[in-house]
Structure 1
Amino acid sequence: MAVFTPVPETDAAPLFKALGLGRLKALQGIEGGIENTNFFATTEREGAEHEWVLTLFERLTHAQLPFYLHLMKHLAQRGIPVPEPQAKPEGMRRRPGEDELLHTLRGKPAAIVNRLRGKSVLAPAPAHCAAVGGMLARMHLAGRDYGRSQPNLRGLPWWNETVPVVLPHLATGEAALLQAELAYQNHVAASSAWAALPRGPVHADLFRDNVMFDDEAGAPDAPRLTGFFDFYFAGVDAWLFDLAVTLNDWATDLPTGALDLPRARALVAAYQAERALTQAERDLLPAMLRAGALRFWLSRLWDWHLPRQASLLKPHDPAHFERVLRQRLAQPLTMAALES
C-alpha cells in the first residue's frame, strides 16, 4: 500500500462526489504494502463523516479487476465482513474498461471501498486464530456460487516463471533450496491427490495485517473479528492452499519461522467446525504449507531484488519465508499432530 501514484485531493474529489459518497475532506496515503497505491479518505455527507479506502491498481488491469471487486461484493452480500466496493449510480458514464464497481483515476484502474472498523492484531492468541479459521471457512463456502473465475495469478505458473528471474541474485544454498522446492511443488501439482482438492475463490494473502478485530466489542477469549481485506491476490485455487497461507502467518513464530501448535490447532479446529477437510486435504497439508512458504519467499525475493520506485515503499525481508520453508521441511505439520 505504498504510494506509486500521487493523487491530489482535487483529482479525487470529483470521483467521490459522482459516486454519491459526499464531499472529500481528507486524503492520506497508506504506508505498509507493495502492490497498489492506497489512501484513507474522509468524506462528509448529510452532516456526517464517512471513512473510505481509495485504491489505484498499479499492476492489475481493467480486464483482471472485475473478478476481485465483484468477489468482494458477493461476499459482503452473504454476510462475510469484507470491504464493499462502491458502485456507480445509474446513468453515470463508464470509461473504457470500467464497470459499475471499477473506476479510473489518474489514468489507473481505481476502486473505493468502505473502511473497516477495528485494527489488526499483530501478536495473535489462539482465540484470534480460531476467529480467523472459522471466518475463512465461511468465506470459502460463501464463494461457492460466485459466477466469475480467474486463476491465482501468483500460483504455480508464476512460480515457474519467476524462479529463473531471481536465481542470479541468490547464494548457492538459497538457490538450491528454491529450485528443489519448486521441483517438489510441480510434482505435487501433477498428483491425483492435488487434483482432488476442493477449489473455489481464495483470499491467498490472509496475513495478520489483512484482518481487523474490534477489541472493545469482543471478550478476551472471543475477540470480535470485524473484517478481511486486501483481496487483490485472490483467485480460484485449492482451499487448502488458502488455509496453509493463513497458518503460515497466524500460527508461526516470527523470529524462528516455527509453527506454534496451540495457535495452529485453534485455527484448524475452528475451520473444520465450519467445513471439514477432505482426506486429500488432510494428506496434503504438509505439502501445501511448504507451497505457501515458497510462494511468499519467492514474491519477497522478487520485490527485494527487483524493486519498484514508490513513496513509502518498504519491501518485506525475504529471509523470513526462507526460514518458514526450512521449518516446514524439518518439522512437517500433520493433521495427526493437530488433532492429538
Structure 2
Amino acid sequence: MSVFTKVSHPELLDFLQQYPVGEVIGFQGIGEGVENTNYFVDTDDGRWVLTLFERLNYDDLPFFLGLMEHLAAHGFPSAAPLHTNDGKNLVTLNGKPAAMVRRLVGQSVLFPNLEQARATGGVLGQLHRVAATFKGGADNARGTAWRLQTAQELMPHLAEDARALIASELDAQKALALDALPQGIVHADLFRDNVLFVDDRLTGVIDFYYACRDSLLYDLAITVNDWCFDTHGQLNRARSDAMIAAYIAERQPTAAEAQAWRLVLRAAALRFYLSRLQDWVHPRAGGLVHVKDPDAYRRILEYHRSDVLPLG
C-alpha cells in the first residue's frame, strides 16, 4: 500500500463526484506495502479506502472486486467495493484503474498474541469455505512458473550463497505438485497488515488483490510463515499451534496435504523471498515506497529446510 501515483486535492474532489459519499473532510496516502497506491478518504458519509491499481489491469480486476462483494454478502469480514452513481465498482483515476471500499474498523497488529493468531487461522478457514461458492477464478500470477522465471532473472544479481540456496530449493520443489492438492479461492497474501483487530476481536480482512485459485494449504503456509516467525527466522510454536488448530477446526486437511506440508511451507517462503529480492534488485519509483527485507524470508526458508513444523 505504497503511494506510486499522486492524487491532488482537486483531482480527488473531481473523482469523488461520481460516488454517493458526501463532502470530503480529509485524505492521506498510506505508506505501507509495495503493490498499489492507497489513500484513506474521509467524507461526511463515512471513511473509505481509495486504491489505484499499479500492476493489475482492467480485465483482471472484476474477479477481485466480485470476490470481495461475494464474501461480504456471505458474512465474511471483507469490505465490499463502493458503486458509483451509475453502478460501476471500477473506474479510472489519473490513468489508473481505481476502486473505493468502505474502510473497516480496527488496526493491524505487528506482534500478534495467541488469540489474534487463533482468530486469523479461523478466518482463513472460513474464507476457504465461503469462497468455495464463488464462481469466478484466476490463476496464481506468482505460482510455480513465476518462481522459476524470477529466480532465473535474479541469479546474476545475487551473491553466490543466495544463488546456491535458490537453486537447491527449486530442485527440491520439483517433488511438489501443488495442483494435485485441494484447490480453491485463496487470499495468497494474508499477512499481519491485511488483518484488522479491535483488541483481540478480528474485524476485517483486506487487500484481496493477490487472490486466485490455488492450493488451499499453500494459503495456510503463507499465513503461518508471516504470523508465526520473527525477523530472525525463529518460530513462535505456540502461535503456529493456535493458528493451525483454528484453521483445522474450519477445514480438515487431507492426508496428502499433511504429507506435502513441509514442502508447501518452503514453496511459500521461497515465493516471498524471490518477490522481495526482485523489489530489492529492481526498486520501483514512488512517493512513499516501502521495500521489505528479503533476508527475513530467506531465514524462514532455511528454517523449513532444516526443521519440521507439524500440521496439527
Q: TM-score range by the shorter chain?
A: over 0.9
In structure 2, how many angstroms separate the alpha carbons of the residues matched to 1:110 and 1:165? 31
Would the aligned equivalents of 1:17 and 1:23 in 2 still touch at CA under 8 Å? no
Partner of 2:108, secondary structure, is: coil
Would you say 1:213 and 2:197 are equivalent positions? Answer: yes
Cα distance in 2 for residues equivalent to 1:256 and 1:18: 47
Unaligned stretches of 5+ residues in structure 1: 93-99, 216-222
Q: 2:294 matched to 1:318?
A: yes
Identity %: 45
Q: How many residues align?
A: 312
Structure-to-structure mapping, 1:83-162, within 5 angstroms: 83-90=79-86, 100-162=88-150
Q: Which runs of 5+ in 2 are unaligned?
A: none
Residue of structure 2 aligned with 1:261, choices 205, 223, 237: 237
Tell me the equivalent position of 2:76.
Answer: 80
CA RMSD after TM alignment: 1.2
Matched, 1:230 2:207: yes
Matched with 1:218 is none
1:70 maps to which of 45, 66, 69 = 66
Contact 1:152–1:237 at 8 Å: present in 2 too?
Answer: yes
Amino acid at match of 1:106: N
- Cα contact 2:176–2:264 (8 A) shared by 1: no
- Supply the distance in 2 between the matched residues of 1:233 and 1:28 (Cα, whole angstroms): 24
Mapped to 2, the partners of 1:160 and 1:102 lie a distance apart of 33
Q: Name which of 172, 181, 185 aligns with 1:197.
A: 181
Q: What is the CA-CA distance between 1:16 and the residue it aligns to?
A: 2.4
For residues 62-102 of structure 1, give each alpha carbon's deviation from its aligned partner in whole angstroms, at most 9, with x where no partner exists: 01111111111111111110121111334x6xxxxxxx221
TM-score (norm 1): 0.89
Structure 2 CA distance, aligned partners of 1:183 and 1:152?
21
**Separation in 2, partners of 1:67, 1:280:** 29
Between the aligned partners of 1:180 and 1:87, the Cα distance in structure 2 is 48
Cα distance in 2, alignment partners of residues 4 and 103 from structure 1: 18
Runs (4+) of structure 1 exceeding 4 A deviation are: none
The offset of 1:28, in angstroms, is 0.5
Which residue matches 1:34? Answer: 34
The residue type equivalent to 1:76 in the other structure is: A
Contact in 1 for aligned 2:104/2:204 (Cα 8 Å): yes
Once the two structures are TM-superposed, the CA of residue 131 in structure 1 deviates from its matched residue by 0.3
**TM-score normalized by the length of structure 2:** 0.97
Which residue in the other structure is 2:272 paired with? 296
2:260 counterpart of 1:284: yes
- Check conservation: 1:131, 1:225, Cα contact below 8 A: yes
Name which of 155, 158, 171 aligns with 1:183. 171
Classify the secondary structure of the residue corresponding to 1:18: coil
* 1:299-325 alpha-carbon deviations (Å, 9 max, x no partner): 000000101111111200101000010
Provide the rounded CA distance (Å) in 1 between the counterparts of 2:240 and 2:54.
Answer: 34
Q: 1:57 is matched with which residue: 40, 50, 53?
A: 53
Contact 2:107 2:197 in 1 (8 A): yes
8 Å CA contact 2:24–2:41 kept in 1: the answer is yes
What does residue 21 of structure 1 align with?
21
